[in-house]
Structure 1
Amino acid sequence: MVREDGKRNFALRETDGGEESVYSGNTPRQAALKAARRLDPGSSEDAADRTELRLREKGTDKVHIYDGWAWRETAPDNKPDWMPSEITEANVSKKGIEHLES
């Protein structure tokens, strides 16, 4: 379901089917990137572990499946004062869509 501001809600599905976390975004990829930033970061993008993320779009039976990974990186020189010197970056790669059985 699309909210008034155009964003949709996506529930992160656990292996047992539970849905503890909800991420919002205009696209499933945007929500997957938010979920990936919460993974344990590796020392670099190449060294980061890939984790499967399954996001069910609220109000539908669609489950968007991504591989996600996160890594630590030095913040840019022009960072604002409140930003820490080391930040977490993330990326995702879409694997496909599944439909839940009713």
Structure 2
Amino acid sequence: MVREDGKRNFALRTDDGTEPSVFSGNTPRQAALKAARRLDDVGESESEADRNRIELREKGTDKIHIYEAWAWEETAPDDKPDWMPGDITKANVSKQGIDHRET
């Protein structure tokens, strides 16, 4: 379901079917990147990061977007603002497909 500002809400699904978090974005990939940055197993670099499967259910529809996601830590740039920590988490995702939930 699309909000007035054009963003859609996507619920992160766990293995047991619960949905503990909701991420918003104009596209499913944008929401998936936000979810990927919160992965528990963050690698030292992009090449060393573990790949994880994440599922995002689009609120108001029967679509479940499936992604392969990975995250890693990098040092923040030198021109970072004062409030930014020294290490930042970056992420990437690769779409694996869409499932339709049984109703």
- The number of residue pairs the alignment matches comes to 102
Residue 16 of structure 1: aligned partner: 16
The question of 1:101 aligning with 2:102 is answered yes
SS in 1 for 2:20: strand
Q: 1:85 deviation in Å?
A: 1.2
1:3-82 aligned within 5 A: 3-39=3-39, 40-82=41-83
Runs of 5+ unmatched residues, structure 1? none
Q: CA RMSD in A?
A: 0.7
Q: What is the TM-score with the length of structure 2 in the denominator?
A: 0.96
In the alignment, the residues of structure 1 paired with residue 61 and residue 3 of structure 2 have an alpha-carbon distance, to the nearest angstrom, of 14
Give the partner amino acid of 1:59. G
Matches of 2:86 and 2:22 in 1, distance apart?
A: 28
SS at match of 1:35: helix
Q: Which runs of at least 4 in structure 1 moved beyond 6 Å after TM superposition?
A: none
Q: Distance in 2 between matches of 1:17 and 1:80?
A: 39
Counterpart of 1:49 in 2: which secondary structure? coil
Residues 50-101 of structure 1: CA deviation (Å, up to 9, x unaligned): 1001000000000000011100101111111111111100000000000011
Give the TM-score of the pair, scaled to structure 1. 0.97
Q: Which segments of 5 or more consecutive residues in structure 2 lack a partner in the other structure?
A: none
| 1:94 alignment partner AA | K
